Amino acid sequence: MLKYPNGKPYRQKQRTKRKNLPNKDIQYSNRGMTLEEDLNETNEYYRTSGIAVIHKKPTPVQIVSVDYPKRSAAVIKEAYFKQASTTDYNGVFKGKYIDFEAKETRYTSSFPLQNIHEHQINHMEAVLKQDGICFLIIRFANSEEIFLLSAERVLEFWKRKQSGGRKSIAKHEIETHGHKIPLGYQPRIDYIKIIDDIYF
């Protein structure tokens, strides 16, 4: 008879046959990284390698109601956004302020401008006025293609929409005026290489 180190006898567990689960129970949601996860991983690589210091901006939230079901846990029951968020990421690279928004789309031939809010456009304009580097990172989810599009170009397409033009940016326009970012291992989305080539 086998025994554990504490002297208790080892008893083999009875194996039970696994039931075949129906396909609807299989979860595929987290098979691929999201754009945000990829960018967070990339930014961590930049920071640990001393290349750049870029962080995701926290969203300011006003907590109104909290429930304490037990001493060790608190559940937020009601909260509001304090203010409209600006862009997703900011930081510094080679002494220059970096600010950008990251967006994903399931459209295959265009990027809808409704995905960008007017206060974000105003923020981009303000960053450019201060001589900061501002841009949009767009991921086409179906083809896994990622592009960097400068804020200057984004503002041109926004103004076109405001004056009655098309309400999206055609993919061929993004390919022409933007920069494709190849997916890598480390870093995953090397957008700083493109920024370095363009601005430095």
Model pTM score: 0.74
pLDDT digits (tens, 9 = 90+) for 94-141: 999 999 999 999 999 999 999 999 999 999 999 999 999 999 999 999
Exposure string (b/e) for 163-192, b if CB count within 10 Å is 16 or more? Answer: eeeeebbebebbeebbbebeeeeebbbbbb
Q: Which domains does the chain have, with CATH numbers?
A: 33-199 (3.40.1350.10)
